[in-house]
Amino acid sequence: MSRISSVLFEQAKRYIPGGVNSPVRAFGAVGADPFFVASASGSRVYDVEGREYIDYVASWGPLILGHGHPEILAALEKSLRKGTSFGAPTELEIEMARLIVTAFPAMDMVRMVSSGTEAAMSAIRLARGFTGRELIAKFEGCYHGHTDSLLVKAGSGAATLGLPGSAGVPQRLAELTVTIPYNDVETFKMAMERYGDELACVILEPVAGNMGVVPPIRGFLETIRELTRRTGTLLIFDEVITGFRLTWGGWQNLAGIEPDLTCLGKIIGGGLPAAAFGGRREIMANLAPLGPVYQAGTLSGNPLALSAGLAALNCLRANGNIYESLEKKTALLCRGIGDLFDRKGIPLSINRVGSMFTPFFSGNSVQDLTTAQKSDTARFARFFREMLARGISLPPSQFEACFVSQAHSEDDLERTIDACGKALAAL
């Protein structure tokens, strides 16, 4: 960490818990202190001392076009001249809603919110209000924000009522959440036999991105859709990360599975705080002011955020080859990194879906939280620090996704692979 970043971090710790406003930014999992960013452009971020880093964090996913994309900046400047927030409807909200429901066949209606946490929280409340049921089910390793009923860990059995996963979460509230291992079809079937008629919803990331990238195994999502439909349980896809990241629309479009509700975020804000949830008209009509399920937000549909998000989405829609290009770039990068580890004889399992990937420091296939946690986190931490010293910014945790953007060039990829080789030599 630079000298100036060290001084700033000490100042931050005086006023902000842990010195950061989101825990992973503290770099605690990699045995380091964070560098402070001064600016960013394209594929690069620059710290307060002017050091340059090729960035694979991408603000945790939304910057699919890179930092400071000119069309997004132009949209923001135009919107800013008109005002920052009105607390009243704008035409931008209609434009964004129309674009989203066009991209997602499973959505008839959508409501804008300000964060992925808020989207998941609101979707679950809506599911409970629509079904009249209280229990919900989630999967181990899938993160849906820091709502109390979702900050739970598994109980003593394979499919059990949850235990509090954070101080401040009441035991009684955690017990309303059934936790199930991700990609475990048989345990899911068992959970549905036991709780199915009591479950308001099942929520999951169709491609997990918060225990590292973990794709669904064959038949997993299909079984969930079949059994939730059979029991009248709503299926919620959390596509906050995957929405517009892997294809136009979401993973559900690639999988051919229509959930009842979908949560979106990240890319639809173009780098600003924006998120949404939506689904079938008969469900969404239960939201106030039409129905009895209350949800509100002062900054929901903020014009600056929607201007940035619409600019990002319109760029993606206009560039029909972008997903194919991102796929090729990311595959090239992962292949180059994997070859280096093979030559060094260091165990590595790279999970990749489109432009998302995670290099797990493990010799075994990673398909759930248990196998992800078998990774050598100490070796990952050393690798992270060596890569950072060579100008490569990776997510500061073994259990996060890396993101490739349109702004990453072939030279960026070659420099990253070269830095990887030097980092391995130093381990």
Q: Which sequence positions are flagged as catalytic?
A: 143, 238, 266
Amino acid at residue number 319: N
Check: CB of residue 47 under 8 Å from CB of residue 37. Answer: yes
- The token duo for 332 is 């090239």
The distance from CA 165 to its chain's CA centroid, rounded to whole angstroms, is 19
Residue environment code for 161-193, b if the CB has 16+ CB neighbours within 10 A, otherwise e: bbbbeeeebeeeebbbbbbbbbbbbebbbebbe
Check: CB of residue 115 under 8 Å from CB of residue 275. Answer: yes
- The token duo for 309 is 């998000």
180 Cβ partners below 8 Å, 6+ apart?
A: 137, 138, 139, 140, 158, 159, 187, 188, 191
Report the C-alpha gap between 147 and 314 in whole angstroms. Answer: 32
What would you report as the CA-atom Rg of the chain, rounded to the nearest whole angstrom? Answer: 21
197: enclosing H helix or E strand: none
Report the C-alpha gap between 417 and 212 in whole angstroms. Answer: 20
